Structure 1
Amino acid sequence: MSKRSFEAKISGIVQGVGFRWYALRYAKAFDISGFVKNLPDGRVLVRAKGDEENLKQFLDILRKGPSGSVVEDVDVKWDVDVDDGEFRIEF
């Protein structure tokens, strides 16, 4: 499988609803490295690196969001620089 990466900026009701912990749980399940963090403008930023098929499934999960969230838009840019290592929440 080929390794790829993406940056996703997720907008909607995505802060204060457990979105970062939701992303962390699924990133670990799909063996994805990178990070998730809240942005000052109310969006959530995810940078992820892993097998392409796993990344596509991870994106589908991010588009759904956790219970209590309302994902309005996911702006994705593929093949950005993402560090290897364990997926983490950045503050």
Structure 2
Amino acid sequence: MPNSTPQSQLIRAHVFITGRVQGVGYRYATVDTASQLGLTGWVRNLPDGRVEAVFEGAREIVEEIVRWCHVGPPAAVVQDVAVEYEEPENLRGFEVKRLVK
């Protein structure tokens, strides 16, 4: 539960995944994995073929999903994962965001 984590332990990772990551179930596998881990945030496809995601939660759990992003679901072929750490926004839930055109 996010509320049981001391604020200092809460981190936010903004992740960009490059490779064959669209049309392979990457977003939905990310939602499943993040939800199972109790993380909050969102994931979406970008027009350039990358997947963008934000994860908030305890440092060790966020680091675990960032490692998972390097592999992704079975059909994905991940070439690169770029991570930027930001101030947490205390998001609720984990969802697939629609791309804003």
* TM bracket (short chain): over 0.9
- Aligned with 2:86 (options 61, 68, 79): 79
1:81 CA displacement: 4.8
* 1:1-91 alignment, distance < 5 Å: 2-91=9-98
Structure 2 unpaired stretches of 5+: none
Distance in 2, Cα, partners of 1:48 & 1:80 = 11
- Identical-residue share of aligned pairs (%): 31
Larger radius of gyration: 2
Alignment CA distance shift 1:49-1:18 (3 Å): same
1:62 CA displacement: 1.0
Q: CA RMSD in A?
A: 1.2
Q: TM-score, normalised by structure 2?
A: 0.85
Number of aligned pairs? Answer: 91
Q: TM-score, normalised by structure 1?
A: 0.94
Q: Is the 8 A contact 1:7 1:45 kept in 2?
A: yes
SS at match of 1:64: coil
